[in-house]
Amino acid sequence: MCRIAGIISYRLQSEEIKTKVKTMCHALQHGGPDDEGIFSDNEKHLAFGHRRLSIIDLSRNGHQPMADVQEQAWITFNGEIYNYRELKNELLLVGASFHSGTDTEVIIQAYLYWGVSAFQKLRGMFAFALYDKAKALTYLVRDTAGIKPLYYHIENGQLSFSSEVKALKTAGIATQTDSQWQVRFLAFGHIPEPYTTLKNVFSLPKGHFLCWDNNKSTFTSGEYYTHVKESYITNENEAKQLLHDALTSSIDRQLIADAQVGVFLSGGIDSSLITLLANARKTTRLKTISIFFNEKAYDESAYQNVVFNEIQGEKFTHLVKQHDFEESFPQILAAMDMPTTDGINTWFISKYAQQDGLKAVLSGLGADELFGGYPSFNRIQYLRSLRKIPAQLVSLALPFAPDQYKKIEFLSHNHPLADYLLLRGLFTPADIAKILNTDVKQVTDILFSDTITSGCKHYDEEYAAWMETNLYMQNQLLRDTDIMSMSHGLEVRVPFLDEDFHRLTMRISPDIRFSKIQGKKLLIDSFKDILPEKIWNRPKMGFSFPLQQWMQQLPATSNYNLYQGKTAQNVIKKFKENKVHWSKSFALYQLKTHE
């Protein structure tokens, strides 16, 4: 797990390219504290940079950027390839030679022997740039789940890329602000892919590659994974057995490391299951990292203790108090690559994991999206009914709607993002227009101008899963998990998003994959042999902090005199009165302070 950066440009001198890449690497140092490397090809005006967090092959053999033995190809790689040993054995049989025990070198040889088709053979989380010297081509590649970030900027025949947006700005590569980011942020509570806060800086889509012709300074892009429609699994017992085997296999894969791997344990179903499986599979004593609070409504220590009683190893628990939040608030804001209303919880638990001696941890992220663990899976039926109301009638009702029902404004737009924002949105277009002093049409044009296809025909659980996976998890949870954990030099692995496990899950018939009786019932039933009833037979809490209370005591987010405009001031007043969620106050604060 690392941070990467690079530039290909005939507009710049070779030394200037290297200087800018070094500047980006310096800005990314927190995510790769163990080593730095720069590779340059002066003839092609190319430089790759790398900051390393050593997880596999901790020796100098893992130094990047890395080339094959004959130096036919160079790579700068961020992530982990969990099936690299199997791929390496295949490659040895066809004549490949290796000089390290890294997964990085396996990617290079896989490309040299199998070409672009090698990308879909990889199982893991990854973002990398690979330079083919003979063909004068550079590939930017991102994993199929979009776990690892990769941002690129193309202007005047120059390609620049980085693991974080701010590195591109720090190096003076992309300095112009995207004039539309504030609209998107106020609507979503984050900035959805492919957009960023910077003009012409975009996120490479998951499961895609960008191929840059180094001679012509042109590019093509596309998906590297071929989607094959398979028949549904309709037998529940078969589905449970397959899920059991696939998740166990995923855990086995993701425990592979030469550094110690721990587990985030919140006390919920997903983290408890991952912890119990890891404990059973791990040959060394497992480290768990948990957080608890004095505020009993948010404290899950009782459930954490249930799991502690079932496992061996070191259990690290940390009390987080309001004082800790207030003291850390400036550091949390500084760690954000782009504004977001999420990630505070990950920042804290990653900080403690790093302090407790870990470089890598397993997380339960992804199960709610795949198996119906969110309220949206039940609310989708109400959305189906609301969608039958004529848009004209919705417009007439809006002026009379109480504040908590203002989001029905999204019903006047026939767009998948409008459905999502009705369920999870922050501010309505009308309020955004007032806050930013613009008109509503401009706001809605920004939000709904892109054509998006959900692939789902009905307002059902599959549609909810599509929204939660491709919009909420992709744009907020995964990005914030990555940026906040890497700010502490910590790698977060997500077994539920293992490619094979995910594809298996998508093959299970929705009739058995989702349950109206209990969220994630199929997953729970697949592991009832190890999952204590006290863990699965309990109210859902989620890994949340008492931020409503804490932010009300924080002057930066609760003093309405700091804000301009009646709409923003009114939001802060209502927040102080507990009539508005803390995320709205936090969003307005970031809007005011983000540069």
Separation between Cα atoms, residue 269 and residue 247, nearest integer Å: 14
Residue 44, judged by CB atoms within 10 A of its CB (0-12, 13-18, 19+), counts as: middle
Q: What is the rounded end-to-end Cα distance, in angstroms, of the chain?
A: 28
Q: H-type helices in 147-300, by residue range? A: 165-170, 181-188, 236-254, 269-281
Report phi then psi at 361, rounded to 5: -140, 155
Q: Which residue has the tokens 């290297």?
A: 18
Helix (H) or strand (E) holding 39: strand 35-41
Tokens matching residue 158: 């120059």
Q: Please state the residue numbers annotated as binding site.
A: 103, 291, 363-364
Q: Helices 236-254 and 499-507 sit at what angle, rounded to 10 degrees?
A: 170
**If DSSP codes are grouped into helix, strand and coil, which group holds residue 11?**
coil
Q: Which amino acid is at 227?
A: H
Separation between Cα atoms, residue 161 and residue 151, nearest integer Å: 5
**If DSSP codes are grouped into helix, strand and coil, which group holds residue 73?**
strand
Q: Please state the residue numbers annotated as binding site for L-glutamine.
A: 103
Closest CA to 246 of 587, 537, 503: 503
C-alpha dihedral sign at 319, 349, 37, 24: negative
3-state helix, strand, coil in the chain (%, to 5): 45, 15, 35
Residues annotated as catalytic (active site), given as ranges: 2
Closest CA to 513 of 379, 368, 374, 371: 371
Would you say 78 and 127 are in contact if contact means Cβ atoms under 8 Å apart?
yes
Separation between Cα atoms, residue 226 and residue 159, nearest integer Å: 27
Tokens matching residue 3: 């941070």
Would you say 293 and 300 are in contact if contact means Cβ atoms under 8 Å apart?
no
